[in-house]
Structure 1
Amino acid sequence: MAEVKLNIQKEGPSAFELYDEGEKYGEMVFDIQGENLTVYHTEIDPEKEGKGYAKLLLDAMVDYVRTHKLKVIPLCPYVHLQFRRHEELYGDIWNKVREND
């Protein structure tokens, strides 16, 4: 069963990392500054695409943001697309102002 682990770094970007059967199959790279979590990149192993792994990473990030009362700046094309398609789900955490800076 797939699981998402949080890998927080003091220096440089952090990541939500996706593991299945002990192997890392993907990650969502982000950074936190102040009250904003900026998502830069989401990547899934090409052989594992289409299994819902990116959505697992997205769900983990959204849960983390809501728990810590943060806003998201979705610079990652995948996250930005999901936020645009499902604004009713993510509008409360989407920092559109900072995204356009």
Structure 2
Amino acid sequence: MSEVKMKLDDRRRGRFYIEEEGKQVGEMVIGVSETTLTVYHTEVNPELEGRGLAKKMLDEMVAYARQEHLQVLPLCEYVHQQFRKHHDDFADIWKK
């Protein structure tokens, strides 16, 4: 199974990402402030779509936001769609 990793720079910009065989195959671009985690973009290698990699990154991002008591601003189309579709699952962290 692919492990989701997270990397933030000094300005608290970064990403959740998945590597397979030393190559990045998916990423979720984020920015973190004192109260908000903003998701800008999610992308998975087209050859690996359908394996649930975007969902794994979503789950990891949500767990991180809850752990750090952050609200999520889903500017990314994929994350926004998931928040709308499963509203009850994300109501506690969704910054509308």
Band the TM-score falls in, shorter-chain normalisation: over 0.9
Conservation of the 8 A alpha-carbon contact between 2:30 and 2:41:
yes
Counterpart in the other structure of 2:30 = 30
Unaligned runs of 5+ in 2: none
Unaligned runs of 5+ in 1: 97-101
Conservation of the 8 A alpha-carbon contact between 1:2 and 1:21:
no
Counterpart in the other structure of 1:44 = 44
Give 1:1-101 correspondences, 5 Å limit.
1-11=1-11, 13-96=13-96
Relative to the length of structure 1, the TM-score reads: 0.90
AA paired with 1:59? D
DSSP-derived class of the 2:39 partner: strand
C-alpha distance after superposition, 1:11-34 (max 9, x if no partner): 373100112333210000000112
DSSP-derived class of the 2:78 partner: helix
Conservation of the 8 A alpha-carbon contact between 1:30 and 1:39:
yes
Relative to the length of structure 2, the TM-score reads: 0.94
Conservation of the 8 A alpha-carbon contact between 2:12 and 2:32:
no
Task: Kindly tell me the number of residue pairs found equivalent between the two proteins.
Answer: 96
| Aligned-CA RMSD value | 1.1
- Alpha-carbon distance in structure 2 between the residues aligned to 1:39 and 1:8: 13
- Alpha-carbon distance in structure 2 between the residues aligned to 1:10 and 1:83: 28
